[in-house]
Amino acid sequence: MQSPSPLPRGRHRLPFQVVVENQRRRLIAGVARAVAEQGYAELTVKHVIEAAGVSRTTFYANFDNKRDCVLAAHQDVFERLLALLLRACATERDWPQKARASIAALFAFAAEAPDEVRLLTLDALATDLTIARQVVDSNAHFAALLRDGRRHTPLGDALPDLTEEALIGAISSILAGRLLEGGVEGLAGLGPELVQLVLTPYVGTEEAARVAAAGA
């Protein structure tokens, strides 16, 4: 998501709610950039308002502190990504193809908004327990969606209970590492491998490789 453009200076006829929403969207986009540049532990409100291009007064009119801003940004990114994944799933009929389409949607989102995707990873935010819990909760939601794959394979009942949690954790960690090391370029070529990684426990190695290759 690109940061919303600044509103006109001085007097204007924009409704108050439009102004408030624009400021909040800029803060959410700004905190994602600031976390990517500074890391959460070193992040300050000054970093956020400079990245967002708003005043300190505007910041405190929307959030109590940097934690509240990061929590709001994380929730916003999570909800937008979830909506994208659900739309991607709706374009396919069979579960393996749904999983592949979801991973493709994730990578498209990461390419467009890498800083925001990093807000979904524990690697970026684990130093704050409150935020870490919210990240864990969102990952649990993604894992619950993935768990639906058990209904589409005879292998489902035999899978360990931690399968989906482990897969989501692996994807999150891999994405965070590649974005940290090489930005968007670091994601090149990972899609098919992650598709195969996710599908293998459910449909076996050969079928997972076939579905991954078909989407490459």
Based on the number of CB atoms within 10 Å of its own CB, is 43 exposed (0-12), middle (13-18) or buried (19 or more)? buried
Distance of alpha carbon 163 from alpha carbon 155, whole angstroms: 12
Q: Give the list of residues 6+ apart from residue 71 with CB closer than 8 angstroms, or none.
A: 130, 131, 134
In sequence order, which ranges of 3-156 are alpha helices (DSSP H)? 16-38, 45-52, 56-62, 66-90, 95-112, 114-118, 122-125, 129-146
Three-state secondary-structure class, residue 94:
coil
SS3 210: helix
Cα R_g (the chain), whole angstroms: 19
Contact 82, 144 (CB under 8 A): no
With beta carbons less than 8 A apart as the criterion, state whether 172 and 146 touch. no
Residue 194 to residue 171: CA distance in whole angstroms: 7
Q: Per-residue confidence of the chain (216 residues) as pLDDT tens digits?
A: 445 555 444 444 555 566 678 888 899 999 999 998 998 889 999 999 999 999 999 999 999 999 999 999 999 999 999 999 999 999 999 999 999 999 999 999 999 999 999 889 877 677 788 998 999 999 999 999 999 999 988 888 899 999 999 999 999 999 988 888 877 887 878 999 999 999 999 999 999 999 999 976
